[in-house]
A and B are shown apart, each in its own frame.
Chain A
Amino acid sequence: MNNDIKQFILNLQSKNYSDANSTLESIIEKKLTARIQKSAKKATDGTFFKQEKAIKKNK
């Protein structure tokens, strides 16, 4: 991610705005993907623990 941001800064420095735009899109996409993955993991873990708890309770 940091390398992408460095590349974004270099593109801005060299006034290569189309590449800078592409890099920024890539960064935002990666960040959004990371957020969604984190949220999905949290939801899965929560469900898993809830299921475990329910199973124990039922036992």
Chain B
Amino acid sequence: MNIKGILQEKFKDYLSEESLEVISQAFEVSVQQAAAEQQRLNEESLQEKINQLADERAKLQVEAATIQIDEDHSLKLQHLLESIDADHTEKLQKLVEAIDTDHTAKLRQVLQAIDNKHSAMLEQVINKYETSLHSEAATYKDTLVEEISNYIELYIDKLVPQKQIDEATNNIQARRILEQVRQIVSIDEEFINTEIKEALVDGKRTIDSLRRELNEAVSTNRNLSQKLTGTESALLLENKTKSLPEETRRHVKRLLKDKPVEYINENYQYVVEMFEKETRLQEDLYKDEAVHQRLVESTVDRPELEYPSFIEESVSPLRNTAEAGSVTGYLSEMKRLSGKYSRVANS
């Protein structure tokens, strides 16, 4: 039954045929449209579902392919890594072996060099210590022994001085000699005390008298020597002053009388020269005075006075005290020296 029939049954009284027709047509059109819409929708949803499923399938296929590729690549990579590892391991092992061999050889060389160097140094050290042990130690030992010996000597010397030992041995020796003398002479101590004392006193007397005689002989000898010296010096003085003027001779004799021969020889020439110099100075002075006096007499009118000659003689030396001072100094020095010489001659 269609929609027209249903409407005719229900709405036969209300609707005309035409309305029914229009409604049925509209119904039909709307049903068709709805069906078409439904179909379109169904088709769209189906298409969408198909697409979705296709996507899912594609995704799954991609995942499966990816997994497959991953597995494949993993396997290949593992193989590759294993082969690289094996290769690298082999190479590394060879490298390590080569390095080991090289290092071993080098280490052996270094050890050999160090061994040689240390052996040489050790030999040097051994030689040095052997030398020290054989020569220096022996020297040190000798020195030590010598020093200990010296110390013991000093210690003994401090405790028991050599002087005491000498004194003791001298005492023992003297006692022994005395005993021997006693045995030889066969006299006792009392005899020695009485008889030998008397002999000693007698000997002392003899020695004293001999000493007195010796003293007398020595004094006689000294007097004779002095006389001889005086005679010799007088003779020498006489010979030397023989050719001099009288005044000079007197002066020289006065100064050098009773002096030793060496003293006269040393000072004779000097005394003569000094006296002559002094005489010349005196003469020059007298001349000046005479000239001065003559000039005064010619200018001043005064009575003439005559002085006795002894006044001039006594006054004139006093005028040149300056020159006389030097001469007096010389004479006092001469006297001092002559005193020294005479003391030496007397001793």
Contact = CB atoms under 8 A, between A and B. Distances in A.
Interface string A15-54: 0000000000001100110011001101110010000000
B148 A43 contact: no
Nearest to B144: A9
Interface residues of B: mostly helix, strand, loop or mixed?
helix
B149 A47 contact: no
Contacts of A44: 173
A44 B177 CA distance: 10
B166 interface: yes
Interface stretch (B102-110, B152-160, B207-215, B287-295): B152-160
A43 B173 contact: yes
Contact of A35 (B144, B145, B162, B172): B162
Of A27, A36, A43, most buried by chain B (CB within 10 Å of CB) is A43
A31 B149 CA distance: 9
B177 to A, nearest CB: 7
B162 A31 contact: no
B83 to A, nearest CB: 79
Given A6-B141, A32-B156, A35-B156, A43 B169 contact: yes
Interface string B307-347: 00000000000000000000000000000000000000000
Contact of B148 (A9, A35, A39, A40): A9
Contacts of B145: 2, 5-6, 9
Contacts of A43: 166, 169-170, 173
Contacts of A6: 141, 145
Interface string B98-116: 0000000000000000000
A43 B165 CA distance: 11
Given A1-B149, A39-B162, A31 B170 contact: no
Contacts of A35: 156, 160, 162, 165
Contacts of A47: 173, 177
Interface residues of A, number: 18
Given A31-B156, A32-B156, A39-B162, A5 B169 contact: no
Interface residues of A: mostly helix, strand, loop or mixed?
helix
B177 A39 contact: no
B169 A28 contact: no
Contacts of B148: 5, 8-9
Given A5-B148, A9-B144, A42 B166 contact: yes
Nearest to A6: B145
B166 A32 contact: no
A39 B177 CA distance: 16
B184 to A, nearest CB: 13
A1 B142 CA distance: 12
A27 B177 contact: no
Interface string B228-246: 0000000000000000000
Nearest to B145: A5
Contacts of B165: 35-36, 39
18 contacts: A2-B149, A9-B145, A28-B156, A31-B153, A31-B156, A32-B160, A35-B160, A35-B162, A35-B165, A39-B166, A39-B168, A39-B169, A40-B172, A43-B166, A43-B169, A43-B170, A43-B173, A44-B173
Given A31-B152, A43-B166, 11 more contacts: A5-B149, A9-B144, A9-B148, A28-B152, A36-B165, A39-B169, A40-B169, A42-B169, A43-B169, A43-B170, A43-B173
Q: Please provide the 8 A-B residue pairs with the shortest distance between their CB atoms, ordered closest to farther.
A: A39-B169, A43-B173, A40-B169, A5-B145, A43-B169, A39-B165, A39-B166, A43-B170
